[in-house]
Amino acid sequence: MELKNLRVDGKRLRRSLEEMARIGATPGGGVQRLTLSGEDKRARDLFVKWLKELKLELTIDEMGNIFGRRAGKDNSLAPVMTGSHIDSQPKGGRFDGILGVMGALEVFRTLQENKVVSERPLVIVDWTNEEGSRFAPAMCASGVWAGCLERDWVYGRTDINGKKFVDELERIGYRGKAPARKWPVHAYFEYHIEQGPLLERQGKTIGAPKGIVCEHWNDVYLQGEANQVGPTPMEGRHDALCAAAEMILKIGELPERMGGNMVATVGEIQNYPNSRNIIPDRVHFTVDIRSWDDEHALKAWELLKEELKAVAARRGCPIEIKETWRIEHQPFAEPLVQRVLDTAGELGYSALYMVSGAGHDASYMNKIAPTAMIFVPSIGGRSHVEVENTRWEDCEAGANVLLHCLLKTAGEK
Ligand code: GLV
Ligand code: MN
Ligand code: MN
Cα 194 to ligand 2 centre (Å): 9
User: How far is residue 142 CA from its own chain's centroid?
Assistant: 10
Q: Is 196 in the pocket of ligand 1 (CB under 6 A)?
A: no
Task: Give the residue from 138, 208, 219, 227 showing the smallest Cα distance to 405.
Answer: 208
One pLDDT digit (tens) per residue for the chain, 413 residues:
799 999 999 999 999 999 999 999 999 999 999 999 999 999 999 999 999 999 999 999 999 999 999 999 999 999 999 999 999 999 999 999 999 999 999 999 999 999 999 999 999 999 999 999 999 999 999 999 999 999 999 999 999 999 999 999 999 999 999 999 999 999 999 999 999 999 999 999 999 999 999 999 999 999 999 999 999 999 999 999 999 999 999 999 999 999 989 999 999 999 999 999 999 999 999 999 999 999 999 999 999 999 999 999 999 999 999 999 999 999 999 999 999 999 999 999 999 999 999 999 999 999 999 999 999 999 999 999 999 999 999 999 999 999 999 999 999 98
**Three-class SS state of 264:** strand
Cα 60 to ligand 3 centre (Å): 22
* Residue of minimum CA distance from atom 5 in ligand 1: 359
Contact (Cβ atoms closer than 8 angstroms) between residue 298 and residue 195? no
Cα 86 to ligand 2 centre (Å): 9
Identify which of 195, 217, 326 to mutate to test ligand 1's pocket (most ligand atoms within 8 A of the CB): 195
Q: Is 359 in the pocket of ligand 1 (CB under 6 A)?
A: yes
Identify which of 139, 360, 373 to mutate to test ligand 1's pocket (most ligand atoms within 8 A of the CB): 360
pLDDT digits (tens, 9 = 90+) for 247-306: 999 999 999 999 989 999 999 999 999 999 999 999 999 999 999 999 999 999 999 999
Contact (Cβ atoms closer than 8 angstroms) between residue 300 and residue 258? yes
Buried b (16+ CB within 10 A) or exposed e, 302-311: eebbeebeeb
User: How far is residue 194 CA from its own chain's centroid?
Assistant: 12
Cα 130 to ligand 2 centre (Å): 7
Q: Where are the alpha helices (DSSP H) in 125-229?
A: 140-145, 151-155, 165-171, 198-202
Buried b (16+ CB within 10 A) or exposed e, 257-279: ebeeebebebeeeebeeeeeeeb
Cα 85 to ligand 3 centre (Å): 9
Cα 347 to ligand 2 centre (Å): 25
Ligand (nearest to CA of 92)? 3
pLDDT of residue 11: 98
Task: Give the residue from 342, 230, 325, 257 showing the smallest Cα distance to 286.
Answer: 325
Cα 407 to ligand 1 centre (Å): 28
Q: Which atom of ligand 1 is nearest to the CA of 96?
A: 2
d(CA 58, CA 376): 28
Q: Cα separations (Å) of 310 from 204, 247, 298, 315?
A: 46, 10, 19, 9
pLDDT of residue 109: 98
**Three-class SS state of 158:** strand
Q: Is 131 in the pocket of ligand 1 (CB under 6 A)?
A: yes
Q: Is 138 in the pocket of ligand 1 (CB under 6 A)?
A: yes
Q: Which atom of ligand 1 is nearest to the CA of 359?
A: 4
Q: Cα separations (Å) of 165 from 37, 63, 64, 169, 284?
A: 11, 10, 11, 6, 20
* Residue of minimum CA distance from atom 1 in ligand 1: 359
pLDDT of residue 413: 87
Cα 40 to ligand 1 centre (Å): 17
**Beta-ladder partners of 286:** 219
pLDDT of residue 1: 79
Q: Cα separations (Å) of 191 from 56, 79, 208, 373?
A: 20, 17, 10, 6
* Residue of minimum CA distance from atom 2 in ligand 1: 131
Contact (Cβ atoms closer than 8 angstroms) between residue 224 and residue 281? yes
Contact (Cβ atoms closer than 8 angstroms) between residue 81 and residue 123? yes
Ligand (nearest to CA of 127)? 2
**Three-class SS state of 300:** helix
d(CA 193, CA 188): 17
- pTM of the full structure: 0.98
Contact (Cβ atoms closer than 8 angstroms) between residue 304 and residue 311? no
Task: Give the residue from 404, 259, 387 showing the smallest Cα distance to 336.
Answer: 404
